[in-house]
Structure 1
Amino acid sequence: MTTATDAAHTLDASGDERPGPDTFVRAAMEWHFGKETGSPFWLDRARRLDFDPRKDVRTLGDLALFPNVAAELRHVRVEDLIPRGYGPRPDVVGIFESGGTTGLPKRVVLLRDRLERALATSNSELDAHGFPRGADWLGVVPGGPHLVGEFFRRQATTHGRHGFAVDLDPRWVKRLVARGAHEEADAYAEHLVDQAAHVLRTQDVGVLTITPPLLERLSRRDDLVDLVNEKVRAIRWGGTQLDPDSRLLYRTEVFPGVVLVGNYGSTMMLGTAGERPGLAPDTPCVFDPPGPEVTFAVVDPDTLAPVEYGRRGRVVVHHVSKSFLLPNNLERDLATRVVPPDGSAGDSVADLAPVGVFEQETVIEGVY
């Protein structure tokens, strides 16, 4: 019989000791639904499930048995999301919220062990793309309650040296767009680019992290394009999607000597998926999930059955780690299902694009 100690050891394993995805899932079920180790949220929720997670969830595919509870994270006490197995004083890095794209924000708790694993994975991915180590970073990304700002700050100082940040409030832009105040939204976006320009002119920025809408605005200014080509060695984009034509243009004409890499993530993932290394500029941008903690499935939105490889469907994200459990979360993104690399769990995804309506709300992306 698997004990809580055994489950914790499996979930904590790293390197060559990392278990296969099915073994990992079984250990997570023991941990999250054990009375001494599970969170109050999931222990309470288990009483209303029509299956027993510890008996019936044996494989990665069995995670589809769970209902999608992401919407409940708008109202849950954050203390109830922390597994009891972390003891009376868990090492909480922060409480973070979704962007509020589709209504009231959802909240998650980030524990230090999860942050360190995610950073190690992402830093390794950047190394594979040739991002310079020890460079100064500039982030034009949301801060405040948004996980991306915290992740940027930590990554800038673990992979890079110093991190410079621009204060970006995506919720305000979305509110402006929603009420048709496009001139105000435009002025705010230009204000963000102005702040980034000041840092670029005065500091030795080697890595730029930015959203596609703001990268497009920056690219309209010839002086900033010249400055980026002179100083910046790598650009990481994320937050909204970058269409294939723009990606090709940036990589071949606008910033031909700069490494350009995409990043797909969300607060509900508590992690990110990096662009697959080695892709040609004119091929689709493929994202490989950082399993076994975060895995993807691409499904038919009506039946929730997996689509065939090469076909488009909705992205389902499973987050299964020691610190957090959110299986079967239907995201607001459409994607093409792609065969994952050898040894990886779940699907890889390409050509991501938002749906028009999600959770009965119109999706507004704005600048993030």
Structure 2
Amino acid sequence: MPNHSPDVRVLDCPADETPDAQELLEAAMQWHFGPETGSPFWLERAKKLDFDPRTDVHTADDLTLFPNIVNELRDVRVEDLIPRGYGSFTDLYGVYESGGTTGAPKRVVCMNDWMERWLAFSQRKLDERGCPRGVNWLALMPDGPHIFGAALREGARRSGGILFTIDMDPRWVKKCIGGGRAEEAGRYAEHLVDQAVFLLETQDVGVLITTPPLLERLARNERLVELINEKVSHIQWGGAHMDADTRHLFRTEVFPGIELQGAYGSTMILGGSLERVDTTGEDRCVFDPFSPYISFSVINPGTGENVAYGERGQVVMNHISKGMLLPNNLERDTAIRMRPPEGQFGDSVTEVGPVASFDDEVVIEGVY
């Protein structure tokens, strides 16, 4: 039991400040489970919990008390996800969906204050890697109901550039692959590559954001490799997994001299992490989450216990903010558990890879 009443004002701290993890967590419990401030979804869901989040949740370990509720987000009314404390829907930035990799898409709400906070974090990480400001971005990434597209549009504008995009429907590619129509999926991917050629030949582009499968296809096109090496200084990849050998090949042979930075996250945490700057010389792609709002743990799925540092397990993600509470979400990824930087809430991860199946569904990444 805390010896004080949590101050919910910590939920509104400036975007460039990092709140104390326990203070944030306790304030979030008061907010999301308070009758006047919590969302209809969580207030109703709390009736089925065998603990009281307002008195029993204070640490990262306590988040494991929660059930994984993300599958319930496939059919819940999005209005019921918005905390009553906001007072109206005018603070809603948007409604976003998962990629539908393991069935019907799940939906989350993104409030204006969270988008401000995530964009500030992302810009800090880009600056750390020397990503140039004042240049245009080209995104070969899903937009529409996918949160990453919305964030890229705003991120490019705030960094002083223009965002160019292409049409992409990753669900169609997954449907083709799942239905045994790999050739059709390949033709669709080449259609996406053709659109990239048009843009890179005619426009100034300094930052390229895409998925590993599409980056591999871009790398097969000699003209595109030439254009990218001529114009682009920073490539950010995400949305699917990249193995260490492929990453090394891109950095040393295909796109030498271009900064390659990975991104790892999920719609179910309303964001994610950008690859940390490597100061060890080990050339490992390590992701530190946006602590304390987003946290990772790496567990043995059979026991639910954390694996040892340096061992592989399945990733669990948590999101704790004023706008959303999404705790204890077992993701469709495995990773090696890494020791976090000092003061970070939760683990860091490296060598992320997909599980073969999840929720009794075969995991199909496609182009995303």
Q: What band does the TM-score fall into relative to the shorter chain?
A: over 0.9
- In the alignment, what sits opposite 1:233? 233
Q: Is the 8 A contact 1:279 1:285 kept in 2?
A: no
Q: Is the 8 A contact 1:28 1:322 kept in 2?
A: yes
Q: Is the 8 A contact 2:15 2:117 kept in 1?
A: no
Amino acid at match of 2:211: T
Compute the displacement of 1:225 (Å).
Answer: 0.7
Query: Alpha carbon RMSD of aligned pairs, Å?
Result: 1.3
Can you give the 5+ residue segments of structure 1 that lack an aligned partner in the other structure?
Answer: none
- How is 1:70-109 mapped onto 2 (pairs within 5 angstroms)? 70-109=70-109
Compute the displacement of 1:60 (Å).
Answer: 1.9
- Secondary structure at the residue paired with 2:336? strand
Q: Structure 2: how far apart are the matches of 1:205 and 1:28?
A: 41
Structure 1 residues 256 and 265: CA distance shift in structure 2, 3 A? same
Q: Structure 2: how far apart are the matches of 1:2 and 1:353?
A: 41
- In the alignment, what sits opposite 2:333? 333
Q: Structure 2: how far apart are the matches of 1:116 and 1:14?
A: 10
Q: Is the 8 A contact 1:137 1:160 kept in 2?
A: no
Amino acid at match of 2:64: A
Q: Is the 8 A contact 1:209 1:237 kept in 2?
A: yes
- In the alignment, what sits opposite 1:34? 34
Q: Is the 8 A contact 2:15 2:120 kept in 1?
A: no
- In the alignment, what sits opposite 1:175? 175
Q: Is the 8 A contact 2:141 2:210 kept in 1?
A: yes
- In the alignment, what sits opposite 2:244? 244
Identity %: 57
Amino acid at match of 1:59: T
Compute the displacement of 1:279 (Å).
Answer: 5.5
Compute the displacement of 1:363 (Å).
Answer: 0.3
Amino acid at match of 1:312: R
- In the alignment, what sits opposite 1:312? 312
Amino acid at match of 1:25: L
How high is the TM-score relative to the length of structure 2? Answer: 0.97
Q: Is the 8 A contact 1:244 1:282 kept in 2?
A: no
Q: Is the 8 A contact 1:332 1:354 kept in 2?
A: yes
Q: Structure 2: how far apart are the matches of 1:19 and 1:100?
A: 33
Q: Structure 2: how far apart are the matches of 1:67 and 1:55?
A: 17
Total equivalences in the alignment: 365
Q: Deviations over 1:209-255 (max 9, x none)?
A: 00000000000111111110100010000000111011111111111
- Secondary structure at the residue paired with 1:123? helix
Compute the displacement of 1:180 (Å).
Answer: 0.8
Q: Structure 1: how far apart are the matches of 2:281 and 2:314?
A: 25
Compute the displacement of 1:283 (Å).
Answer: 2.5
Q: Is the 8 A contact 2:78 2:108 kept in 1?
A: yes
Amino acid at match of 2:5: T
Match of 1:2 among 1, 5, 8: 5
- In the alignment, what sits opposite 2:348? 348
Compute the displacement of 1:18 (Å).
Answer: 3.5
- In the alignment, what sits opposite 1:134? 134
Q: Structure 2: how far apart are the matches of 1:282 and 1:189?
A: 33
How high is the TM-score relative to the length of structure 1? Answer: 0.97
Q: Greater CA deviation, 81-90 or 287-296?
A: 81-90
Amino acid at match of 1:268: M
Q: Is the 8 A contact 1:23 1:59 kept in 2?
A: no
Q: Is the 8 A contact 2:146 2:267 kept in 1?
A: yes
Q: Is the 8 A contact 2:288 2:347 kept in 1?
A: yes
- In the alignment, what sits opposite 2:213? 213
Can you give the 5+ residue segments of structure 2 that lack an aligned partner in the other structure?
Answer: none
Compute the displacement of 1:280 (Å).
Answer: 7.0
- In the alignment, what sits opposite 2:55? 55
Amino acid at match of 1:228: I
Q: Structure 1: how far apart are the matches of 2:74 and 2:15?
A: 35
Compute the displacement of 1:108 (Å).
Answer: 0.5
- In the alignment, what sits opposite 1:321? 321
Q: Structure 1: how far apart are the matches of 2:214 and 2:118?
A: 25
Q: Structure 2: how far apart are the matches of 1:11 and 1:91?
A: 15
Displaced runs of 4+ in structure 1, greater than 2 A? 14-19, 278-284
Q: Structure 2: how far apart are the matches of 1:291 and 1:48?
A: 28
Compute the displacement of 1:88 (Å).
Answer: 2.4
Q: Structure 2: how far apart are the matches of 1:140 and 1:281?
A: 30
Q: Is the 8 A contact 2:237 2:263 kept in 1?
A: yes
Structure 1 residues 191 and 279: CA distance shift in structure 2, 3 A? farther
- Secondary structure at the residue paired with 1:205? coil
Q: Is the 8 A contact 1:248 1:282 kept in 2?
A: no
- In the alignment, what sits opposite 2:253? 253
